[in-house]
Amino acid sequence: MRIIEGKKIAIVGAGKVGANIAYVMSIRHTCNELVLIDIDQKRAEGEVMDIKHGLPFLNQMEIYAGDYSDIKGCDIIVVTAGAKRKPGETRLDLAEKNCRIAKSITESIMKYYDGGIILVVSNPVDVLTYHVSKWTGLPRGTVVGSGTVLDGIRLRTLLSEKFNIDMKNVHAYVFGEHGETQFPAWSFSNISGFSIEDYCAASGIDLTEEEKSEIAEKTKKAGAEVIKRKGATFYGIGIATTELCNSFINNENTIRTVGCVLDGEYGLSDVVVNVPCIVGSKGIEKVLKVPLPPDEMELLHKSAAAVRSVIEVTADI
């Protein structure tokens, strides 16, 4: 196999999420070498073949189905593998099942790991990010959870529609877990430098507290609404994950709401919730301590408690 010199990424899991991340990366030319690893080797091979057939119209990239030995030399290892929630199955049932899968994957990765960022995308992402961090023993920030990056995009989309403004002008962030206890950090959100309140005054468009609650709920339920209609979500997370990997690969030092094990920030320790972080070539370069108002700080601590409760139940897996 002819390997092109340059950046290398491995994606563990060639299901719909993993395959779509690979597809978006091929379009964005995120790396020069991309390997898909899956327990179903033939599926991984099929996804690779399908993407390869489009490369002549895109960019030169070496993409192939491999195994865990191909982890060597990776700049980023993206973990997407995991079970889907079945009818009648609780969130905790899924967490226990996916923790077992993630532990097996982590052990396989670490047999060949020689550096690079481990980006956890599988759900429950915050719980898995915590456990993978502990199982690997890697320096903080090397294991990164994709966190609420996708939720933030969903929030920005809803606000851009509300205000009829280019979504690139909307800077809005979701804090907490990637799940039921997440919340928009309204105090940390703005539209081209205007606070939300100031933009409402300047534009003559009202955003009531009731509307804020509705937008927060729509943001939280967006994934479920997609699943209700088409059975799975993979385009949005494919784009969000690729954007994160571009930030790592290009050492962009950009701000994303991602997860790592907190160490005193926001009065929280030994838990993963998502807050603004500077991300670059080493993963999470810095956790930013935003001065949240008391009501949002309380929501963040409630979210951390929810994540911690699942971490504790799955601790012995």
Statement: residue 269 has pLDDT above 90:
yes
Phi, psi for 4 (deg, rounded to 5): -85, 130
Contacts of 241 (CB under 8 A, 6+ apart): 21, 24, 78, 119, 121, 146
Give, as one character, the DSSP assignment of residue 68: G
Whether the per-residue pLDDT at 6 is higher than 90: the answer is: no
Listed in order, the ranges of the chain carrying CATH 3.90.110.10 are 149-313
| Ranges 30-34, 73-77, 84-88, 209-213: which has the least confidence | 84-88
CA distance 55 to 117: 26
pLDDT at position 251 over 70: yes
Judged against a pLDDT cut of 80, whether residue 43 lies above it is answered with yes
Percentage of residues of the chain with pLDDT beyond 90: 90
pTM of the predicted structure, to 2 decimals: 0.95
Catalytic hit among 29, 53, 171, 178: 178
Contacts of 138 (CB under 8 A, 6+ apart): 118
Please compute the mean of the pLDDT values over residues 21-43 and round it to a whole number: 97
Check pLDDT > 90 for residue 292: yes
Question: Which of 90-104, 144-158, 230-244, 257-271 shows the lowest mean pLDDT across its residues?
Answer: 90-104
pLDDT of 1 reads 45
Answer yes or no: is pLDDT of 2 > 90: no
C-alpha to C-alpha distances, 140 to 136, 261, 316, nearest whole angstrom = 10, 7, 21
Query: Per-residue pLDDT averaged across 49-78, rounded?
Result: 96
**Domain 8-145 CATH class label:** alpha beta
The answer to whether residue 178 is catalytic is yes
Please give the class, per CATH, of domain 149-313. alpha beta
In sequence order, which ranges of the chain are alpha helices (DSSP H)? Answer: 16-28, 41-52, 91-110, 125-136, 149-163, 196-203, 209-230, 235-249, 294-313
CATH 3.40.50.720-classified regions of the chain: 8-145
pLDDT at 230 over 50: yes
